[in-house]
Amino acid sequence: MPAHSHRTAGSLAVALLGALAFAQPALSGEARPTALTPEYVEECGSCHVAFPGRMLGASSWNAVLDGLDQHFGTDASVDAATLASLRTLLASTARSKQTTQDGKPVLRITEARWFRHEHDEVPARLKSGPDAISLSSCGSCHREAERGSYSERTLRLPKKGVQK
Amino acid sequence: MRIGVLISLVLWSGAAAVRAEQPADIEAALAATARNEDASFAGFSAQRGERFYNASHGGDWSCATCHGSDPRAIGKHTVTGKAIEPLAPAANPKRFTNPAKVEKWFRRNCNDVLDRTCTAQERGDVLAWLRSLDAQAVR
């Protein structure tokens, strides 16, 4: 067997080990149902990707639902029956640990401690400059975000100089 | 017997409520509301609707900000960047077929663009313009 084949097999093994190391759920230890129901996707996935409930704690979701008429600068209000249904769904899929800052529920997923921790390895070129992308545009890197999957396996960082 | 008729009527009206409507039905319902809101209502105008769609109404946004200057093309949410399917029925047959959905989005979007609800006249004018567009989208 030529020497370079050994090298190839070796790097393959390293790559596989690396893949295994990253194969854990991206949302460390959170194995709650994704529950992207048709209603949820319709109501909460028209203007942005439908964020799985496990991204925020229950108190955060309640605060978000209480302010839908002024939802980050836009009116995202729903009727009372829909609101009740969304509240039930998010209560059952919310992150088990509350997402708070200074004792107040965090409203932006990007400000949750777990999120900042998971994204602290994002390369500097994606944080500022011509290639910068917003941390809130999940789909720029998480190719399966629309389906509620954020595993490292489907993660692709945009290439240098490629328009998003 | 009479109860049977009553039950059939209730069932029939329930079926009618969930039946998918056409943009023309939605426009007709808006015309009825407009007549109620203003006795001098004299029909909808596609021209007025186009102006309304493109105007910023004193704020930062217009309808076109997210739905695009050509509503037959795919729009883009100005805050999140998410793609918005075409608004004109000719380019997207699902548009204006669900009264509840139409009501919800006019309520939200008029608040965002005009900081108030839109009158039936304004909604109908915009719909009349959208319905007047043929399928040839500008890419």
Q: Is the ipTM of this complex over 0.90?
A: no
Say yes or no to pLDDT of B1 above 90: no
Mean pLDDT of B12-21: 58
Q: Which residues of A62-71 are buried (b: 16+ CB within 10 A; e: fewer)?
A: bebbeebeeb
Give the nearest partner residue to B81 out of A76, A77, A137, using CB atoms: A137
Distance between CA atoms of residues B54 and A2, nearest Å: 68
Instruction: Kindly determine whether residue B104 and residue A79, on different chains, have CB atoms separated by under 8 Å.
Output: yes
In sequence order, the 6+-apart residues with CB closer than 8 A to the CB of B138 are B70, B72, B73
- Residue A111 phi/psi, 5-degree rounding, is -100, 0
Structure tokens that stand for A133 in this block: 């992308």
Tell me the three state secondary structure of residue B48: helix
Tell me the three state secondary structure of residue B16: helix
Query: Which residues of chain B form beta strands (DSSP E)?
Result: 75-76, 83-84
Which pLDDT tens digit goes with each residue over A35-86?
799 999 999 999 999 999 999 999 999 999 999 999 999 999 999 999 999 9
- Taking contacts as CB-CB distances below 8 angstroms, the residues of chain A near B109 are 75
Residue for token digits 């067997």?
A: A1
- Taking contacts as CB-CB distances below 8 angstroms, the residues of chain B near A48 are 77, 80, 82
Chain B residue with CA closest to A79: the answer is B104
Which pLDDT tens digit goes with each residue over B74-96?
999 999 999 999 999 999 999 99
Higher-pLDDT residue of B2, B86: B86
The band of B12, judged by pLDDT with boundaries at 50, 70 and 90, is low
Residue for token digits 């209480």?
A: A66
Higher-pLDDT residue of B1, A119: A119
Instruction: Kindly determine whether residue A136 and residue B109, on different chains, have CB atoms separated by under 8 Å.
Output: no
Q: What is the mean pLDDT of chain B?
A: 89
Closest approach of B5 to chain A, Cα-based (Å): 31
Instruction: Kindly determine whether residue A74 and residue B112, on different chains, have CB atoms separated by under 8 Å.
Output: yes
A74 vs B: CB within 8 A: yes
> CB–CB of B87/B130 below 8 Å?
yes
CA R_g for chain B:
17
Cα–Cα distance list, A16 to A9, A12, A153 (Å): 10, 6, 12
Give the nearest partner residue to A47 out of B80, B107, B111, using CB atoms: B80
Which pLDDT tens digit goes with each residue over B98-125?
999 999 999 999 999 999 999 999 999 9
Distance between CA atoms of residues A116 and A113, nearest Å: 5
3-state secondary structure chain A: CCHHHHHHHHHHHHHHHHHHHCCCCCCCCCCCCCCCCHHHHHHHCCCCCCCCHHHCEHHHHHHHHHCHHHECCECCCCCHHHHHHHHHHHHHHCECCCCEECCEECCCHHHCHHHHHHCCCCCHHHHCCCCCCCCCCHHHCECCHHHCCCCHHHECCCCCCCCC
pLDDT reported for residue A19? 43
Give the nearest partner residue to B79 out of A49, A73, A75, using CB atoms: A73
Q: Which residues of A107-133 are buried (b: 16+ CB within 10 A; e: fewer)?
A: bebeebebbeeeeeeeeeebeeeebeb
In sequence order, the 6+-apart residues with CB closer than 8 A to the CB of A46 are B82
Distance between CA atoms of residues A56 and A110, nearest Å: 10
A79 vs B: CB within 8 A: yes
Overall residue count recorded for chain B in this entry: 139
Which pLDDT tens digit goes with each residue over B26-37?
999 999 999 999
Give the nearest partner residue to A47 out of B77, B104, B107, using CB atoms: B77
DSSP code of residue B21: P
pLDDT reported for residue A16? 46
pLDDT reported for residue B66? 97
Which pLDDT tens digit goes with each residue over A91-147?
999 999 999 999 999 999 999 999 999 999 999 999 898 889 888 889 999 999 999
pLDDT reported for residue A96? 96
The band of A33, judged by pLDDT with boundaries at 50, 70 and 90, is very low
Closest approach of A128 to chain B, Cα-based (Å): 18
Give the nearest partner residue to B111 out of A46, A75, A137, using CB atoms: A75
pLDDT reported for residue A32? 47
Chain A residue with CA closest to B61: the answer is A74
Distance between CA atoms of residues A27 and A93, nearest Å: 13
The band of A17, judged by pLDDT with boundaries at 50, 70 and 90, is very low
Mean pLDDT of A15-19: 45
Query: Which residues of B2-60 form beta strands (DSSP E)?
Result: none
